[in-house]
C-alpha cells in the first residue's frame, strides 16, 4: 500500500506539481524566452504555407489548429530554463495536437516538426536534473506513450533507448549534485566543529592562566591577611578584625572565581550554585561599608522580581560599587532601587570628587561593558556617565514583564 501511495503522490506531482524556483544564470538561459518567441514565428511559416497550398476548401478550424499547435511548440523553449516540468506538459500537449496527418501524408518518417525533435530531448534532460526520481519516471512514461503511439515501428526502439538514456543521465547528474551539496554541508559542519574545538581549547587555556595567576595571588592575600595577627606582634584589635574581613572577602572571591573558571572550561555544564538576587544586596552593601565606603541604600519594596532581573541588578550594583571604590575613593555612594511602571530602575550615584569626568556613557574597561551586557540580556538598558553637578551615575532600566 505504501508503494501505491508513493506512485499516486508522484503522479500528482507530475500532473499538478510546481517547478523549483530557479533563475537562469547563463546568457543562454536568459535568452531562451526570446528564442522561444522567434521559434514560434518560424514554426508558423510552414503551417501557413501548407494552409495556402493544400487546405483549399477547409474551414477556419484547421487554420486555428495550426496556429495553436505552432504556439505550443514554441512555448516550451521559453519555459525550459525556469519551468521545465510545465514546459514538458505543454510539449506533451503540442505533440498530441500537432497535425500529424499533414506530415504522414507527405511520407515523413517522424510525426513531429524538427523544432519539436530538437527541443523535447532538452526538456526531458532538464526535468530529470531538476526533479526527484518519481516525477522523472512519470515523465518517461509520458514520453514512452508518445513514442509508441505516434512513431513508426522501425524507429520506436531507437527513440525509446534515447529517451531512457536522457532520463538516466539527467537523474545521475541530479544525484551527483545532491551528493556534492551534502558534502559541502558536511564540510561546513566539520569546519564549525573545528572552530568550536578551537574556541574550547582557547577557553581552557585562558582558564588555566587565570587560575595560575589570579588564584595564586588571591590565595596569597587571604593567607597573609589571616596570619598577619600571628606574624606581627602588637596588632590592634580593629586592624586584626579588618584583616580577617579581607581574608574572608578574598576567599569568597576565590570561590566565585573557581566557579566561573569551571564554566569557562566547559560551557555545557549548568550553573548549579544559587545565583545572587536582590535580597543579597544588604550583604553587599554591608561589606562595602566595612571596607570604608559610605553607602546609602534604598531598597525596592518587597515585591517579587524575576530571577534574571534580580541577578542582573545585583551584578550591576556590585560592579558600580567596585568602580566607585577605584575611581571615586572617599566619595559617598547612593544606591536606589525602585519600580517604575513595569520596569525595575537601579540607580548608583557617587558624589563628585573633584577629578575631571570622562565622556558620558563611554568606558574603556570591562566593567561598564559587563554592566551593559547584563542589562541587555534581560531586555533592558544602561546609561553611565557624569551628570551636571559633577557626580557620576549608573542608571539601569530592567523590564519586569517577560524577563527570564
- The CA distances from residue 221 to 225, 240, 243, 262, in Å, are 6, 14, 10, 22
pTM of the predicted structure, to 2 decimals: 0.47
Give the dihedral sign, CA 102/107/111/114: negative
Task: Please tell me the predicted confidence (pLDDT) of residue 404.
Answer: 41
Task: Please tell me the predicted confidence (pLDDT) of residue 173.
Answer: 92
* Angle at CA of residue 295, ends 294 and 301, nearest 5°: 160
Task: Please tell me the predicted confidence (pLDDT) of residue 69.
Answer: 66
Report phi then psi at 74, rounded to 5.
-80, -30
Task: Please tell me the predicted confidence (pLDDT) of residue 403.
Answer: 46
Task: Please tell me the predicted confidence (pLDDT) of residue 140.
Answer: 93
Residues 1-36: tens digit of each pLDDT: 677 778 888 888 888 888 876 666 666 566 666 766
Task: Please tell me the predicted confidence (pLDDT) of residue 214.
Answer: 73
Task: Please tell me the predicted confidence (pLDDT) of residue 32.
Answer: 62
Cα 57 from Cα 76, distance rounded (Å): 32
Task: Please tell me the predicted confidence (pLDDT) of residue 363.
Answer: 42
Q: Which residues contact 179 (CB under 8 A, 6 or more apart)?
A: none
Q: In the chain, which stretches have pLDDT less than 70? A: 1, 21-33, 35-70, 98-110, 208-213, 215-216, 258-274, 300-303, 353-366, 402-404
Cα 326 from Cα 365, distance rounded (Å): 12
Q: Which residues contact 30 (CB under 8 A, 6 or more apart)?
A: 24, 81
Amino acid at each position: 500500500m505504501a508503494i501505491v501511495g508513493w506512485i499516486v503522490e508522484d503522479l500528482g506531482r507530475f500532473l499538478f506539481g510546481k517547478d523549483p524556483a530557479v533563475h537562469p544564470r547563463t546568457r543562454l538561459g536568459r535568452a531562451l524566452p526570446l528564442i522561444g518567441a522567434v521559434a514560434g514565428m518560424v514554426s508558423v511559416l510552414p503551417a501557413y504555407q501548407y494552409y495556402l497550398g493544400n487546405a483549399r476548401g477547409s474551414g477556419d478550424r484547421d487554420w486555428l489548429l495550426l496556429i495553436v499547435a505552432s504556439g505550443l511548440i514554441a512555448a516550451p523553449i521559453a519555459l525550459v530554463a525556469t519551468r521545465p516540468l510545465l514546459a514538458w506538459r505543454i510539449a506533451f500537449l503540442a505533440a498530441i495536437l500537432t497535425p500529424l496527418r499533414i506530415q504522414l501524408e507527405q511520407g515523413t518518417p517522424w510525426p513531429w516538426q524538427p523544432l519539436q525533435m530538437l527541443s523535447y530531448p532538452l526538456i526531458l534532460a532538464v526535468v530529470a536534473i531538476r526533479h526527484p526520481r518519481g516525477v522523472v519516471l512519470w515523465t518517461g512514461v509520458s514520453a514512452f506513450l508518445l513514442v509508441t503511439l505516434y512513431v513508426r515501428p522501425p524507429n520506436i526502439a531507437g527513440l525509446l533507448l534515447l529517451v531512457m538514456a536522457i532520463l538516466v543521465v539527467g537523474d545521475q547528474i541530479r544525484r551527483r549534485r545532491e551528493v556534492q551539496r551534502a558534502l559541502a554541508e558536511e564540510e561546513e559542519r566539520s569546519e564549525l566543529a573545528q572552530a568550536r574545538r578551537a574556541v574550547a581549547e582557547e577557553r581552557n587555556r585562558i582558564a588555566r592562566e587565570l587560575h595560575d595567576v589570579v588564584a595564586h595571588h588571591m590565595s596569597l592575600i587571604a593567607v597573609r591577611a589571616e596570619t598577619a595577627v600571628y606574624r606581627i606582634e602588637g596588632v590592634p584589635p580593629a586592624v586584626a578584625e579588618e584583616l580577617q574581613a579581607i581574608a574572608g572577602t578574598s576567599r569568597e572571591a576565590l570561590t566565585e572565581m573557581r566557579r566561573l573558571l569551571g564554566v569557562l572550561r566547559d560551557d555545557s555544564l549548568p550553573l548549579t550554585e544559587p545565583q545572587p538576587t536582590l535580597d543579597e544586596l544588604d550583604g553587599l552593601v554591608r561589606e562595602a561599608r566595612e571596607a570604608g565606603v559610605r553607602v546609602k541604600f534604598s531598597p525596592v519594596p518587597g515585591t517579587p522580581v524575576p530571577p534574571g532581573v534580580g541577578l542582573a541588578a545585583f551584578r550591576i550594583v556590585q560592579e558600580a560599587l567596585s568602580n566607585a571604590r577605584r575611581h571615586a575613593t572617599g566619595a559617598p555612594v547612593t544606591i536606589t532601587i525602585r519600580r517604575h511602571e513595569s520596569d525595575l530602575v537601579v540607580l548608583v550615584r557617587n558624589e563628585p570628587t573633584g577629578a575631571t569626568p570622562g565622556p558620558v556613557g563611554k568606558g574603556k574597561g570591562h566593567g561598564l561593558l559587563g554592566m551593559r551586557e547584563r542589562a541587555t540580556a534581560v531586555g533592558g538598558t544602561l546609561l553611565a556617565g557624569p551628570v551636571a553637578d559633577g557626580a557620576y551615575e549608573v542608571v539601569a532600566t530592567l523590564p519586569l514583564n517577560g524577563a527570564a
